Amino acid sequence: MKKLINDPADVVTEALSGIAAAHPDLRVDLDHKIVYRADAPVQGKVGLLSGGGSGHEPLHGGFVGPGMLDAACAGEVFTSPVPDQMLEATRGIDGGAGVLHIVKNYTGDVMNFEMAAELAAADTGVEVVSVVTNDDVAVQDSLYTAGRRGVGVTVLVEKLAGAAADEGRDLAGVAAVARRVNEAGRSMGVALTSCTVPAAGRPTFDLPEDEMEIGIGIHGEPGRRRVPLAPAREVAEMLVEPILADRDFTGDGGALLFVNGMGGTPLLELYVMYREVSRILAKAGVSVARSLVGPYITSLEMAGCSVTLLQLDDELLRLWDAPVRTPGMRWGA
């Protein structure tokens, strides 16, 4: 393992400390491992809280700021945060309009956020609504699994629900936007290499030099199948085909195409993938109205990418274009 760290046990805290030093717009509670926007709570605005294991940066702490999240809880690497953190953050961002929990569909995240919501209902007067993201088409049969995983669409939910909250919508309205985005989005990923969890010290799985894993998760969990390494145009087919088979993206508003790097893939390759994916989409009659390319929801140093498609409409388009000011995503503000 070659990593720029001190002690594996201190990675998360030291990274949060770095975030605090680098971004004066943010306030970091190191004890609870929570990143807040510095001016939280914003009175009268629905608070947006997300969180999850660390190792997916800039998700979630990098998406805290005006137009997106009010706070994010950081768990250990690839381990969900605990209810105490979520409860503390929920209190800290409630501006009187309630708090939306944005939860990726992983057993640990769902259970810890569930406990936090129960505690919030019992211990505080804060109204909490939870939305679970589950956009990963690599997981086929939800009857025999923990259900589809929440991946790339989570970033889009945070942006679009964040914009809706900024517009002054109430908790039910913001949650409705979040659910609609989750319903309208699908993702699929590929890994070319494993990643190494600092505390484990070894790659999570072995992937031979000439193979890749299709349908990968964001925690080094293996995917649908292992196949020989192929050119980008074939990889793009393998990612887009299951997405288009799962949902129609030919709606009038066009689609948002999000090509995400898993942490160890250069933008050069992501743009090669963008080219291939957009050609497939053009053939399939899907018009791309907006794009997002880069590492937004990563898996430590894993090489690979994921493709996310979101069906847009006038409202989602407007919310996407709305100003956002966070370390990981920033425009118009």
Q: Given the rule CB under 8 A, which residues bind another protein?
A: 53, 75-84, 106-108, 111-112, 114-115, 138-139, 144-146, 149, 197, 199-200, 202, 204-205, 217, 219-223
CB of 16 to another protein, least distance (A): 15
Choice between 78 and 258, CB closer to another protein: 78
Q: What's the sign of the alpha-carbon dihedral 34, 37, 41, 47? A: negative
Given the residues 23, 32, 56, 101, select the one marked as catalytic: 56
- What minimum distance in Å lies between the beta carbon of 143 and another protein? 9
Q: Which of 115, 180, 112, 109 is nearest to 150 (CA)?
A: 109
Q: Of these residues, 23, 60, 101, 219, which one is catalytic?
A: 219
Which three-class secondary structure state does DSSP give residue 62? helix
56 given a catalytic annotation: yes
Question: CA 77 to CA 3: how far, in whole Å?
Answer: 14
Closest CB to another protein among 65 and 108? 108
> CB-wise, 121 or 172, nearer to another protein?
121
Q: What are phi and psi of 96, to 5 degrees?
A: 95, -5
Beta strand pairing call for 304-311 and 185-191: antiparallel
Pairing mode, strands 324-325 and 330-331? antiparallel
∠ Cα 81 82 87 (to 5°): 110
CB of 82 to another protein, least distance (A): 5
The least distance separating another protein from the CB of residue 76, rounded to whole angstroms, comes to 6
Active site residue 60: no
Distance CA 189, CA 191 (A): 7
Question: Rounded to whole angstroms, how far apart are CA atoms 229 and 62?
Answer: 32
From the CB of 311, what's the least distance to another protein, in Å?
25
Two structure tokens written together for 84: 């105490």
Q: Which is nearer to another protein, 115 or 230 (CB)?
A: 115
Q: Which is nearer to another protein, 70 or 109 (CB)?
A: 109
Catalytically annotated residues = 56, 219
